[in-house]
Structure 1
């Protein structure tokens, strides 16, 4: 029987409250700063309560009124670029990974295990390590300043392949045998049995990979010089370095809040599937 210790309960609540403060304070500051005017930051002290310019700031940033973002495109267009990049990366990674895992688990071919470990070893080569040769390949193919250049080099995923492989290995062989007896071919077995069983895992991976694609900064910064392909994360850094001593914090924080909204919406909408996918993966 668990003992009831009031002092221990108080310590737990204190730790939770401190954690919430540490995590929530930057978000609170961003929300508050996005509702104030630029004059509120002249003293160098960040305001801690809401102002009256929230709607005006969001309107100016979304439409890029008066080039407040320092570029020729609006935040709404850059959010669209980020959305395309995140969706293509997430869907592409899941598609390639689930097919790769299906082939590795259910097909018998020479060096099958070697192929898997070659895929798995690429986890030690993140984008930052292979960024120069990847840039050379993308430039040679004429994919600079394009959606293809933004997304294709980031599509392959060893992590997702590994997770799908582990999930497929947990599925009883009797399902594959029953499908084979019923005359189902490999792709029918994949479409009618494996995909429905993998829905929660796909949803959990989609949330993670969407956020991964949305938050990309270094790769879009490297391959895009055309403002029409800028992402919302890129412009935040540009605003912080283009102020020449007078940093427009209200515009920066408004843009930051806009950049946070889509990942938050995706997490909230798919929270149930995300949790189920993680629990099933642990099993």
Structure 2
């Protein structure tokens, strides 16, 4: 796999790239108070949630690996203007303004954090999840635990269970190993600690994830990029597209959409497409 493909693969399969993490943290710094900010405590750490009031459904935007709530800063005002709905973004543990949590990354902890945030904000029904890349894994487990809370989802080039065969996990671990080894030489860096936390649990997390099914009752739109995170590795790119197609075929209330010409960062490359499908899902569940 070429170096560029390795960097994109890291983001797609949870391993946090240093460049993305650094940018996300820098963008989140503000000299003035943020009226949307709500600090949520869960299991001994604090999380930054951003809440824009509106009608139902509550649209929750969850960014991919290494990115925080600032990833959605251009889409939030447009989405709120178009729908009038509640819009929620947040920084996962260790990112943006949320506390760092030591130890290997656990999807169950990420789900618990999102549950705590929605509970604190008073969101008890009719949620639409919009989940990019890594956040697709959090969404899958979240929906399984809260099928009556989530009314629908838009999965944006999301990491989905069909991808993670033993063969693909082995390929990804091998491709990522040089960056993981480099991070171990400097564990004092916050970004490197996040990378290592994810790497240390990667194999076990994704072997388990491969066996997880999305609840049939919850509709989902699956938007897959044309270039995928593996631009430069045709075999892995094809496996990514096939995983999205397989997931979409598994139930009649799922729609597969291809973002023509887009990189893995579909919300950046094709924001109008993403907004359109979020609006369609929100209209469906009103």
TM-score, normalization: structure 2?
0.21
User: Relative to total residues, which structure has the larger strand share, 1 or 2?
Assistant: 2
> Which of 1 and 2 has higher RCO (CA within 8 Å, sep 6+)?
1
TM-score, normalization: structure 1?
0.21
